[in-house]
């Protein structure tokens, strides 16, 4: 993402970079899977993401998405990120446990829902007055029952 803070609006605008080739939730990276990921983050973690639009740059064949998120003001601007142990506890309280993913990265798994969370390093979270808030994590479908779980979560 390219992220731009607009302080007077209290929002951070984020544009995806380059081509969205590949897959998300086992589907071609189209707006629906991308939006489902953003909706899951909001539903699980009480954040707010607005889908602002889709763009194609003249002369390029790539599609980019623009979203905005409410700016998360750090409780301590000099130390805005949680520790690894705080991230582990944050996810444990939400029903996720840490597991080693491909390449040795940590993946947080919710076995009952069949969902995993990737890109969950401390730099993708801010500690504010309410606690830890994620802003750039990615859900992954782990099994076929996940689709039903997602439907229930987003009802």
Tell me the sheet residues that pair with 8.
Answer: none
pLDDT digits (tens, 9 = 90+) for 54-103: 877 777 666 778 889 999 999 999 999 999 999 999 999 999 999 987 67
Q: Which residues contact 131 (CB under 8 A, 6 or more apart)?
A: 90
DSSP class of 109: E
Q: What is the pLDDT of residue 22?
A: 47
Count of C-beta atoms within a 10 Å radius of residue 1: 15
Q: Are 41 and 32 spatial neighbours (Cβ–Cβ below 8 Å)?
A: no
pLDDT digits (tens, 9 = 90+) for 12-45: 998 876 555 444 545 455 566 777 888 888 888 8
Q: What is the largest CA-CA distance in the chain?
A: 47
The tokens describing 69, both together, are 């998120």
> What's the pTM value of the predicted model, to 2 decimals?
0.79
Q: What is the pLDDT of residue 18?
A: 53
Q: What is the pLDDT of residue 61?
A: 66
Q: Are 91 and 120 spatial neighbours (Cβ–Cβ below 8 Å)?
A: yes
């Amino acid at each position: 993402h390219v992220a731009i803070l607009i302080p007077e609006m209290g929002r951070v605008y984020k544009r995806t970079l380059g081509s969205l080739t590949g897959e998300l939730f086992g589907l071609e990276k189209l707006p629906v899977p991308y939006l489902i990921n953003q909706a899951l983050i909001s539903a699980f973690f009480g954040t707010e993401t607005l889908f602002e639009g889709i763009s194609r740059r003249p002369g390029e064949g790539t599609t980019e998405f623009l979203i905005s998120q409410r700016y998360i003001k750090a409780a301590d601007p000099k130390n805005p990120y949680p520790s690894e142990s705080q991230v582990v506890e944050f996810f444990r309280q939400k029903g996720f446990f840490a597991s080693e993913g491909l390449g040795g990265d940590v993946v947080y798994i919710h076995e009952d829902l069949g969902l995993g969370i990737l890109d969950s390093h401390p730099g993708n979270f801010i500690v504010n007055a309410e606690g830890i808030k994620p802003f750039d994590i990615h859900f992954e479908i782990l099994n076929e029952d996940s689709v039903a779980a997602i439907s229930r979560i987003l009802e």
